[in-house]
Amino acid sequence: MRMRRKRNLEARMQACEELLLVRGRPMLNLKEAAEHYRARLDLEAVFGRKGECVLEVGCGNGAFIAELARRFPEKNFLAVEVCTNVILTAMERVQREGIQNVRFLNIPAEILPCYLSEGGMSEIYLNFSTPLPAANCEKQRLTSPRFLQIYRTLLRDGGEISQKTDSAFFFDYSLARYAENGFALLCATRDLHASEYAADNIVTEYEANFLAQGKPIYMARVKKVPLAEP
């Protein structure tokens, strides 16, 4: 279902402009984007300090990144969200709550390498990315090989990806792609909320809905390792 455009969208986006680093046209391919948009961000200048930088892809309403940023005030956080209507909710939350260490990019994750330097991220969070089970949608899955290649570029050596999903299909698909694309498994559970990892977990908007439906939550954490020789 198509979401209705928010009231006063442009004025409200403008009111959050200090938090918004980039607003791109929807869905360009990487080559086209590189020609139009290549503009590396100076994150030290953006945050006014050096510091570990953590990225969330598809941040939705921003509840997760806001809580993570509160828990780790010494780290810097970037949240990427392709949908302008949705990122507005996240930015208004961060502004309202006075959180200082989060900034936003309103672009498709496909073009992140146009803005972020190689090896600059320590962690990437993928929370409830759409599973897209149809075979002809594989390229759009946020753990497909083309996205894992992008994450490898953005992550420092030993950098980590944390993923949560309600989809057994997407979980198994992702574990297989991590193993093939230079990511080593650190931990995984097929029932996060019955596991030892539940205590530190931050429940996202979609997670709360899936929990209310009685669904188990799948979680994996992987680490960037050197690619195996062919």
Ligand X SMILES: C[S@@+](CC[C@H](N)C(=O)[O-])C[C@H]1O[C@@H](n2cnc3c(N)ncnc32)[C@H](O)[C@@H]1O
Can you tell me which of 128, 151, 170, 178 binds ligand X, judged by CB under 6 A?
128
Give the residue with the Cβ less far from ligand X, 109 or 219.
109
Cross-strand bridge partners of residue 76: 53
User: Which residue reads 């502004």 in tokens?
Assistant: 95
Can you tell me which of 13, 55, 109, 220 binds ligand X, judged by CB under 6 A?
109
Can you tell me which of 127, 143, 165, 181 binds ligand X, judged by CB under 6 A?
127
Report which DSSP code applies to 17.
Answer: T
x-or-dash pattern for ligand X, window 187-206, by CB under 6 A? -----------------xxx
Position 104 contacts ligand X (CB under 6 A): no
Position 166 contacts ligand X (CB under 6 A): no
* Spatial separation of the C-alpha atoms in residues 181 and 224, rounded to whole Å: 9
Give the residue with the Cβ less far from ligand X, 23 or 49.
23
* Spatial separation of the C-alpha atoms in residues 131 and 43, rounded to whole Å: 31
Contacts 24+ apart (CB under 8 A), 64-71: 64/125, 64/127, 64/202, 64/204, 65/90, 65/94, 65/102, 65/125, 66/90, 66/93, 66/94, 66/97, 66/99, 66/102, 67/202, 68/125, 68/202, 69/94, 69/99, 69/101, 69/102, 70/97, 70/99, 71/202
- CB of 194: closest distance to ligand X in angstroms? 19
Contact 81, 87 (CB under 8 A): yes
**Segment near ligand X (CB under 6 A); pick from 2-10, 13-21, 38-46, 122-130:** 122-130
- CB of 86: closest distance to ligand X in angstroms? 5
Cross-strand bridge partners of residue 187: 221
Give the residue with the Cβ less far from ligand X, 214 or 226.
214
- CB of 102: closest distance to ligand X in angstroms? 14
Size of the site for ligand X (CB under 6 A): 20
x-or-dash pattern for ligand X, window 49-88, by CB under 6 A? --------xxxx-------------------xxxx--x--
User: Which residue reads 């200090």 in tokens?
Assistant: 18
Give the residue with the Cβ less far from ligand X, 58 or 120.
58
Contacts of 50 (CB under 8 A, 6+ apart): 44
Task: List residues binding ligand X (CB under 6 A).
Answer: 57-60, 80-83, 86, 108-110, 127-130, 204-207
